[in-house]
Amino acid sequence: MKTVTLALAAGAALAALSAVVWAQPPAAPPAAAPATPPAPIDYSKPETWLCRPGMTTGACASDQSATEVAPDGSVKPAIFARPANPPLDCFYVYPTASEDQTPNSDMIAGREVTVTTGQFGRYGAVCRQFAPLYRSVTLAALSISRQGGAMAGVDRNLNYNDVKDAWNYYLQHDNGGRPVLIVGHSQGAGLITRLVREEIEGKPVQARIVAVHQLGTTVQVPPGKDVGGTYQSMPLCRRSDQSGCIVVYSSFNAARPPSVTPPSRFARAVPPTVASCTNPAALAGGKAPLDLYQGRGTIMGAKTAVTTPYVRLPGAVTGECVTKGEYTYLEVTETPGPAGGRVVTLGGNVNLPGGGGPDPTWGMHNGDMSIPIGNLVALAQTQYQAWARARR
């Protein structure tokens, strides 16, 4: 049972993303069977979902309004609107967020709400939103593992089975043949990898997949190829008019590339395959501006007071997929503002335990979604249009 107070404001959601999240490997070893296996979750119950159409409170009914702050500090509204009847569905799996002190979380929503607000709320501009609660591996279990230990009782199949059950419930009761975009980060992205491999690839439902946005995890491909390795039939996205494909990357600041010793946790090749990266701002490659949204507390120098939960910061960062040694990743470069203009505090770093500064093995893992969130949402719309054209 949780005692945390939920903060649903978007600023709190962005602040929540500064804590550590975790990417689950695609195929975790089976856990020892408990004496009494946990009962499956009944996803017909409304309280088992963070987001469903018709919900009037929570992450996907949150205030996503923003103020665009130009480099010189001038401001204007950045309009956000949820369409009444979007033709696309989005199914989202959140990262490690639970503050429960058990190995796996319970089904009472806590910090999962604020993380979902920050990562997934903006997708409401283009799709109906579905986000199940699931019995995730917790921050407490992650904290112990970061220190070289292991929390007894962690079940790394329980979380997957919940997500699979929620997905199948959605397909049977909500989908109705509609196109669907799958979105997830870190632990959620790892679970999506397994879901696609076991429940989607090679099955009729694959034809309904507009794209998979799985951020903060690693997808392996043969050198010079866009498919093979992790997935056998779903390629990396390389064009804006392409659908049925994979958007994947892990973010590192250009000033702090992936650590070699100890090795970084993301974007590392597993020979004979290599890690992959698809920049949502430039799928074909090259450097491009990232459409960054952050909480309003991360900006100074605006010429007019900002009252919206978010600020949009055009020109603050650029992104480029690069390969350096055994790592392939989204390299994020900060662009200094002019003297007397805006001053941006860029979030996203995972810090070392005990406040020792950025952890070089994690990079900008907590900013994987927020740093290019505007690009991701725009790409979702473009990919839906490509999917629809291909079926006319």
40 prior amide bond cis, ω within 30: no
Q: Which residues contact 8 (CB under 8 A, 6 or more apart)?
A: 57, 58, 59, 62, 113, 114, 117
Tokens linked to 67: 């103020």
Query: Which of these, 384, 340, 342, lies nearest to 125 by C-alpha position?
Result: 384
Confidence at residue 20, expressed as pLDDT on a 0 to 100 scale: 40
One-letter amino acid of 44: S
Query: Which of these, 288, 273, 275, 362, lies nearest to 319 by C-alpha position?
Result: 288
Cβ–Cβ < 8 Å for 170, 201: no
Cβ–Cβ < 8 Å for 216, 189: yes
Confidence at residue 115, expressed as pLDDT on a 0 to 100 scale: 96
Cβ–Cβ < 8 Å for 276, 322: no
State how far the Cα of 150 lies from the Cα of 153, in Å rounded to an integer. 9
Per-residue pLDDT of the chain (392 residues; tens, 9 = 90+): 343 322 333 333 333 333 344 444 444 445 555 567 889 999 999 999 999 999 999 999 999 999 999 999 999 999 999 999 999 999 999 999 988 888 898 999 999 999 999 999 999 999 999 999 999 988 888 877 666 666 677 888 999 999 999 999 999 999 999 999 999 999 999 999 999 999 999 999 999 999 999 999 999 999 999 999 999 999 999 998 899 999 999 999 999 999 999 999 999 999 999 999 999 999 999 999 999 999 999 999 999 999 999 999 999 999 999 999 999 999 999 998 888 899 999 989 888 877 778 888 999 999 999 999 999 999 999 999 999 999 88
State how far the Cα of 249 lies from the Cα of 277, in Å rounded to an integer. 5
Confidence at residue 146, expressed as pLDDT on a 0 to 100 scale: 67
Sign of the Cα torsion 19, 24, 29, 32 reads positive
State how far the Cα of 250 lies from the Cα of 372, in Å rounded to an integer. 12
pTM above threshold 0.85: yes
Angle at CA of residue 14, ends 140 and 368, nearest 5°:
80
Confidence at residue 23, expressed as pLDDT on a 0 to 100 scale: 47
